[in-house]
Amino acid sequence: MKEDIIRTAADMFLTFGFKSVTMDEIANKMGISKKTIYANFSTKTKLVQATTIYILKSIEQGIENIKARENNPIVELYEIKKFVMNHLKDEKSSPQYQLNKYYPKVYQEVQENHSEMMHCSLADNLKKGIDDGLYSVLHTRRIY
């Protein structure tokens, strides 16, 4: 039940925003009582935290699956971007903005995890592209 709640809440949060979706709406969509949700998550903040972890893990797994195909690094970057945009639904209600505004601690955790994941993925892609001769190393001089 807990996983079903997380999946449903994640879908709704990404579609409508973290602040906009109520526990009543999640319960109604699932056909369960709000009490059942609170039996698994004592607060909405705890549900938001669990859903963001779920979303990040899903994105991370998707990126790993794309990298495992061992495509050309340029194609890989394009596929990763397309996957992330589809996974996050090109949201119109800006769940990221709402997460930052109403759940700043969760937002900070997401940003740290996201930055680390993207840094590693990009570093791997650059190394592969340089090794394959698709990217060249340019030396630049900073002008102060």
Q: Which residue has the tokens 């997460």?
A: 99
Query: In total, how many domains does the chain have?
Result: 1
* Helices H / strands E in the chain, number of each: 7, 0
137 within a domain of the structure (yes/no): no
140 within a domain of the structure (yes/no): no
144 within a domain of the structure (yes/no): no
Listing DSSP states for 78-137 in one string gives HHHHHHHHHHTTT-SS-HHHHHHHH-HHHHHHHHHHHHHHHHHHHHHHHHHHHHTTSS--
143 within a domain of the structure (yes/no): no
49 within a domain of the structure (yes/no): yes
Q: What is the CATH number of the domain that holds 76?
A: 1.10.357.10
141 within a domain of the structure (yes/no): no
> In which domain, by residue range, is 53 found?
2-131
83 within a domain of the structure (yes/no): yes
108 within a domain of the structure (yes/no): yes
Per-residue pLDDT of the chain (144 residues; tens, 9 = 90+): 999 999 999 999 988 888 889 999 999 999 999 999 999 999 999 999 999 999 889 988 999 999 999 889 989 988 988 888 777 765 555 677 888 889 999 988 888 877 777 888 888 888 888 888 888 876 555 554
